[in-house]
Amino acid sequence: MARFVNIVFMQGEEADEVLDKLERRDAECSILFHGATEESIGEAFEYLRQWDYGDDDDIRDELGAGTHDKIEREDGYVLTWNLGLSYVGLMRELVTCDECGATLEDVGAACRDH
Ligand SMILES: [Zn+2]
């Protein structure tokens, strides 16, 4: 079972800075985007991972991505964004015990009984 740790969620101007690079906004025409590439997606992952301090305190059961959001996965991280709604977010996948919800780090003594 996978749950997700909310690492960072940006909206509005803050998100636009990331989205401009991610979706490659045209240098001359501000409404033209050239679209995300493997490289620009990789850079977005790298940039947003800065907010991962290793804390697992904001855990979600679902990705919470809308139907029109774009989703990419890399090395256990999930990047979601929506250019039209000006938001971008990063979550980290957390592997948890189906029985008790313990995270991988806590799995052990308690999980041996079920
Ligand atoms: Zn367990």
Say how far apart CA 9 and CA 111 lie, in whole Å.
Answer: 32
99-111, pLDDT tens digit by residue?
A: 887 776 666 667 8
Q: How far is the CA of 111 from the centre of ligand 1 (A)?
A: 4
Say how far apart CA 4 and CA 12 lie, in whole Å.
23
Which residues form the domain of 96? 2-113
Distance of CA 107 from the midpoint of ligand 1 (Å): 6
Single pTM value for the model: 0.84
Torsion of CA 11, 15, 16, 19, to 10 degrees: -130
Residue-wise pLDDT tens digits, 12-37 = 999 999 999 999 999 999 999 999 99
| Alpha carbon of 100 to ligand 1 centroid (Å) | 4
**Contact call for residues 11 and 87 (beta carbons, < 8 A):** yes
Which pLDDT value is given to residue 56? Answer: 81
Tell me which residue has tokens 């493997």: 38
Count of structural domains, the chain:
1
The CA 113 to ligand 1 mean position distance, Å, reads: 8
108: CA distance to ligand 1 center in Å?
8
